[in-house]
Structure 1
Amino acid sequence: MTVKRRLWCVQVPKQSGEPVRSLLVEMGAFQKDAAVQRDDAYLYFPVKYEIGIADQFPDVRLLQRDFECVEKQTFESILGFTPSYDMIGDIAIIDSDDPDAERIADAIIRMHRHIKTVLGAMSPVQGEFRVRDFRVVAGEPKTETVHKEYGCQYEIDLARVYFTQRLATERKRIADQVCGRDVVVDMFAGAGPFSILVAKSAKEVVAIDMNPAATRYLERNARLNRINNMRIICSDAADVAYDPDLAHIADHVIMNLPHSAEEFLDEALTILKPGGI
């Protein structure tokens, strides 16, 4: 959206345009949301305030003109309020039951040009695979995306695999504790947001998940991120933890299972080395 505003500007002969423009940018005086104007002989650079540069460029002149300005939009200006939403890759997620869901979805797409789809969450995280039901509120009809985080890429289908971007800082904190001699077991790996990042520092990562869709995406993500020190197991962590091959192999065990991770403490201890974390 553009609006017409009367601004101060610097009139400069075309042959002197670039050095004057560079100086205005360096000074922080250039009005970036207004379009530069021109005629046969002159350029007109919009500036934020009445500025004096005649001592450096005697052929310039300061005057006022009407400029087309891009009006910076905000959620407040579009909706009258700031909505709650999550962004994962090029997908945004909102509450499907919000009475303003369609307006919110349209505003998100206008405000974030990389967003291709807005999904409405129709259920909480549920079931043994910890996924949600969605409907497409706006944009492309899809639930699959590629999410980028701390130099890693994760291909995910949000309708089939649990993923939250809200743990990004926690994932980095955990990865920073791992060194090159460590073996790490991720008991509830999902599509690999902990496992992939940790594998960049660890000696070996064993990634476990009982959701076949999650382990398929994990395999893709390992290839996508050039990870070759990871063992992927599609199984219930409660069962695989007692595999003799995993007995006390881990320097670190990751248990990202909200609300019920404590139910698997015995299994984690069978995997963990003495003195492990």
Structure 2
Amino acid sequence: MKRQCIRVNKKKGEQVRKVLMEMGVLDTSMRIGSDEQYIYIPLTSDVDLAELSLEDIQVTEHEFKLHEKPATLENILGRTPSYEIIGNIALLESDETDLERTADALLKVQPHIRTVLAALSPVEGEFRTRRFTFVKGENTTQTVHKEYGCKYVIDMEKAYFTPRLGTERSRILEQIKDGQTVVDMFAGVGPFSILIGKNRTSCRVVAIDKNPEAVKFLRHNIELNAVTNVEAVEGDAKEEVQRYIGVADHIIMNLPHTAQEFLDTAMVVSKPGTVIHYYDITPESDLYSTSLAHIESAASKAGFAIEPIATRIVRSYSPHQFNVCIEVRITG
């Protein structure tokens, strides 16, 4: 479309563009035009050439093209869909309705995405897995996720993983000191254990999980990340901890909803000074107090007391419910 503009020799084009920008008359919705000798800078209003104090410029008209709007989900869909990215898979949440249109937009906007899946269920069952439906792209549930310098091979239908805890995993790492022993009671494919093992090479990490598929990926990821101080243990934590009585300096209990059932188990590997990182899903009306009471009760039965260290909301889980972390130190 035609617009009033400044015609200027190419050698002075950038100088004039900056002046017009400072004056507030540069039309940034249009792409600057050019030919062999001149560039044409679109204007939003009339300009007094005397104000520019430059020679060899002229006000004229020129045919301009509009700047293309960046391809964003908001521009394409008119809204921001609910999704998360795991490796090169985009996972749409269960409340997403227009699956195919949303998947097309994701594949267009984010070229590194190769697969779009939609969640059919929450985390469920003994092995904490989810069910998915394939929407667009490559039909697979397996990917490689990179996080804080580590790589994790994941099959999302066989073992639970969420990137939303990446910051939380890094936060726990900062609390681990060289030479300590960490027991990860529900390790999954290894995001807590491997991050700690790779960055605290003098530590011992015991990574336990009951899901044989998760442990298969855990062992693969240990090799993939070249860590030698993480021990992968397949089995029920309630039974396996009997091999590690009183060894833990840190215990990670990332099993929201049912971690309470394993508090007595955690006390088996505890000793005075052990720090327990306990994760739960709690209502906003009772974020911490009931969970703290459960931890205190289990500690008391084992002859321990607890010293609360920190409480925090990790993320929103559902309306009026939150994924929280409660950290306590075991005292004698």
Is the TM value for this pair above 0.5?
yes
Equivalent residue for 1:207?
207
User: For residues 134 and 44 of structure 1, do their structure 2 counterparts lie closer, same or farther at Cα, with a shift above 3 Å needed?
Assistant: same
1:259 matched to 2:257? The reply is yes
C-alpha contact 1:90 1:145 (8 A) present in aligned 2:
yes
| Rounded Cα–Cα distance in structure 1 between residues aligned with 2:120 and 2:208 | 28
| Rounded Cα–Cα distance in structure 1 between residues aligned with 2:175 and 2:17 | 45
SS at the partner of 1:177? coil
The one-letter code of the counterpart of 1:233 is V
Shift of 1:78: 2.6
Which of 36, 39, 46 is the matching residue for 1:40?
A: 36
Equivalent residue for 1:241?
241
Question: Number of residue pairs matched?
Answer: 267
C-alpha contact 1:90 1:146 (8 A) present in aligned 2:
yes
Equivalent residue for 2:87?
89
| Rounded Cα–Cα distance in structure 1 between residues aligned with 2:16 and 2:143 | 40
C-alpha contact 1:10 1:44 (8 A) present in aligned 2:
yes
C-alpha contact 1:215 1:232 (8 A) present in aligned 2:
yes
C-alpha contact 2:82 2:96 (8 A) present in aligned 1:
no
- Structure whose CA Rg is larger: 2
| Rounded Cα–Cα distance in structure 2 between residues aligned with 1:90 and 1:49 | 47
Shift of 1:219: 2.3
| Rounded Cα–Cα distance in structure 2 between residues aligned with 1:187 and 1:222 | 16
SS at the partner of 1:126? coil
Equivalent residue for 2:77?
79
Indicate the larger mover: 57-66 or 158-167.
57-66
Residues 26-52 of structure 1 show CA distances to partners (whole Å, capped at 9, x for unaligned) of 98x998886554322234567999999
Shift of 1:264: 0.9
SS at the partner of 1:189? coil
SS at the partner of 1:242? helix
C-alpha contact 1:186 1:255 (8 A) present in aligned 2:
yes
Shift of 1:64: 6.1
The one-letter code of the counterpart of 2:238 is A
User: Where do 1:114-133 residues align within 5 Å?
Assistant: 114-133=112-131
The one-letter code of the counterpart of 1:207 is A
Which of 170, 184, 187 is the matching residue for 1:186?
A: 184
| Rounded Cα–Cα distance in structure 1 between residues aligned with 2:159 and 2:138 | 19
Residues 77-122 of structure 1 show CA distances to partners (whole Å, capped at 9, x for unaligned) of 4333332112212211114574312222222223323222110111
The one-letter code of the counterpart of 1:239 is E
User: Where do 1:1-277 residues align within 5 Å?
Assistant: 11-14=7-10, 35=31, 37-44=33-40, 65=62, 66-95=64-93, 98-202=96-200, 203-243=203-243, 246-277=244-275
C-alpha contact 2:81 2:96 (8 A) present in aligned 1:
no
Residues 47-85 of structure 1 show CA distances to partners (whole Å, capped at 9, x for unaligned) of 999999966x75566766412411134444433333211
C-alpha contact 2:17 2:41 (8 A) present in aligned 1:
no
User: For residues 187 and 76 of structure 1, do their structure 2 counterparts lie closer, same or farther at Cα, with a shift above 3 Å needed?
Assistant: same
| Rounded Cα–Cα distance in structure 2 between residues aligned with 1:60 and 1:269 | 81
| Rounded Cα–Cα distance in structure 2 between residues aligned with 1:204 and 1:146 | 25
C-alpha contact 2:33 2:41 (8 A) present in aligned 1:
yes
Greater RCO (CA < 8 Å, at least 6 residues apart): 1
SS at the partner of 2:67? strand
The one-letter code of the counterpart of 1:227 is V
- Structure 2: any 5+ residue segments left out of the alignment? 276-332
Shift of 1:216: 2.2
Residues 218-277 of structure 1 show CA distances to partners (whole Å, capped at 9, x for unaligned) of 22322333322211112221111111xx12111001011111111111211111232111
The one-letter code of the counterpart of 1:255 is M
| Rounded Cα–Cα distance in structure 2 between residues aligned with 1:176 and 1:157 | 28
Q: Tell me the TM-score normalized by structure 1.
A: 0.81
C-alpha contact 2:31 2:66 (8 A) present in aligned 1:
yes
| Rounded Cα–Cα distance in structure 2 between residues aligned with 1:68 and 1:45 | 13
| Rounded Cα–Cα distance in structure 1 between residues aligned with 2:225 and 2:130 | 26
C-alpha contact 1:54 1:60 (8 A) present in aligned 2:
no
Indicate the larger mover: 82-91 or 183-192.
82-91
